[in-house]
């Protein structure tokens, strides 16, 4: 009963946090499902979100609860790392069953990690072993540093024996995944590029692409701002904004907007043009934006229309009229199950020339 009472609070915390963390990780989880399986089945989504629950639970069980009176606890306890790899032998002699239970739990907690790495992620042992060790090392380090300083002192012991038993648990779980594969062979997955993607796959792909566009534009804007303040303003402490470079629809377009536009054109126009319609996000989710084969002026028209739609959507804050445009776009897709530019003239080749439909 003591062990049950000890783990009930971390378990309840993990369950409470699960919906919120899962909501934040929805896009990455769905993106990984598309990347690994090229579709989303209920069983796959269940496994993915169960993995999220396991990760939360592992952190809660190893880092929570924290001692309530931090000042009193830190004054009375001065934990130092336990670096003797054979200390568990002495612990068993001293504490008996309690020490054995602690070792067993260290192994059990990491069994799911090994199973997930072997069955879900399909990682080779050369990857799974260091990941299992690194996960244990991360947890032990968080304990040693008082959750990176959140708690004023180390409230749990950094134990090298825990590193060994945790890693052992991960490897046993990995071996169990191999045995399970023999009993229940995993399904083969068709990773053919999808030429007629569904709404969810499109959304996940566009979110990935937009993240890439912003990630590329922000450092350039920051660097240009610093250079401008050093070379033009001559006083970096004032941090003057770079003057507008033009106007459109009555709104000022700052240098950051120009950089954003260039980044958008590179990743959403140039890259798919050169890669057969596959953006970085499309490569990850196995889809192409070229839903029908086009060449010559038809392909130019298609990309011109698609790029125009992206520019209006991304710069919605600069163009108030785009809010109505976005709503109309959503209504159009709900009715047609396609984007407007997908209906532009295409070549006479079959629709499934480069892949499959969804």
Convert the pLDDT of each residue in 251-284 to its tens digit: 445 778 888 899 999 999 999 999 999 999 999 9
In this predicted structure, what is the pLDDT of residue 54? Answer: 95
Closest residue by Cα to residue 306 from 275, 346, 343: 343
In this predicted structure, what is the pLDDT of residue 245? Answer: 41
Q: How many CA atoms lie within 13 A of 276 on its CB side?
A: 11
In this predicted structure, what is the pLDDT of residue 239? Answer: 46
In this predicted structure, what is the pLDDT of residue 6? Answer: 60
| Cis omega (within 30 of 0) for bond into 65 | yes
166 backbone dihedrals φ, ψ, rounded to 5°:
-65, -45
Instruction: List the alpha helices (DSSP H) in 184-252.
Output: 199-228
In this predicted structure, what is the pLDDT of residue 233? Answer: 54
User: Rounded distance, CA 152 to CA 145, Å?
Assistant: 8
Ranges in the chain, pLDDT < 50: 1, 236, 238-252, 351-354
User: Rounded distance, CA 209 to CA 202, Å?
Assistant: 10
In this predicted structure, what is the pLDDT of residue 357? Answer: 65
In this predicted structure, what is the pLDDT of residue 98? Answer: 84
In this predicted structure, what is the pLDDT of residue 349? Answer: 53
């Amino acid at each position: 009963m003591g062990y049950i009472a000890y783990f009930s609070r971390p378990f309840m915390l993990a369950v409470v946090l699960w919906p919120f963390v899962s909501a934040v990780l929805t896009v990455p989880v769905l993106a990984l499902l598309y990347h690994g399986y090229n579709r989303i089945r209920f069983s796959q989504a269940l496994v993915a979100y169960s993995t999220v629950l396991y990760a939360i639970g592992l952190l809660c069980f190893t880092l929570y609860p924290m001692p309530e009176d931090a000042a009193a606890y830190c004054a009375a306890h001065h934990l130092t790392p336990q670096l003797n790899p054979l200390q568990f032998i002495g612990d068993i002699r001293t504490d008996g069953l309690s020490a054995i239970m602690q070792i067993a739990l260290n192994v059990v907690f990491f069994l799911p990690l090994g199973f997930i790495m072997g069955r879900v992620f399909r990682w080779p042992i050369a990857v799974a072993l260091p990941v299992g060790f690194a996960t244990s090392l991360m947890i032990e380090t968080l304990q040693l540093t008082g959750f990176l300083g959140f708690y004023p002192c180390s409230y749990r012991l950094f134990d090298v024996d825990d590193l060994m038993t945790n890693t052992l648990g991960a490897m046993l779980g990995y071996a169990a995944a191999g045995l399970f594969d023999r009993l229940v062979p995993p399904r083969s997955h068709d990773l053919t590029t999808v030429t007629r993607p569904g709404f969810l796959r499109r959304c996940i792909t566009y979110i990935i692409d937009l993240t890439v566009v912003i990630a590329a534009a922000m450092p350039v804007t920051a660097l240009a701002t610093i250079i401008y303040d050093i070379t033009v303003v001559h006083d970096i402490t004032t941090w003057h904004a770079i003057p507008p470079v033009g106007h459109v629809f009555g709104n000022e377009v700052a240098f950051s907007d120009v950089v954003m536009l260039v980044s958008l054109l590179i990743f959403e126009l140039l890259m798919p043009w050169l890669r057969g319609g596959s953006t970085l996000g499309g490569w990850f989710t196995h889809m192409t934006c070229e839903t029908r084969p086009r060449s010559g002026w038809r392909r130019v028209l298609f990309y011109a229309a698609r790029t125009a739609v992206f520019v209006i959507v991304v710069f919605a804050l600069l163009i108030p009229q785009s809010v109505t445009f976005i709503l109309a776009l959503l209504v159009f897709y709900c009715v047609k199950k396609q984007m407007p530019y997908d209906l532009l003239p295409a070549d006479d080749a079959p629709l499934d020339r480069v892949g499959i439909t969804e």
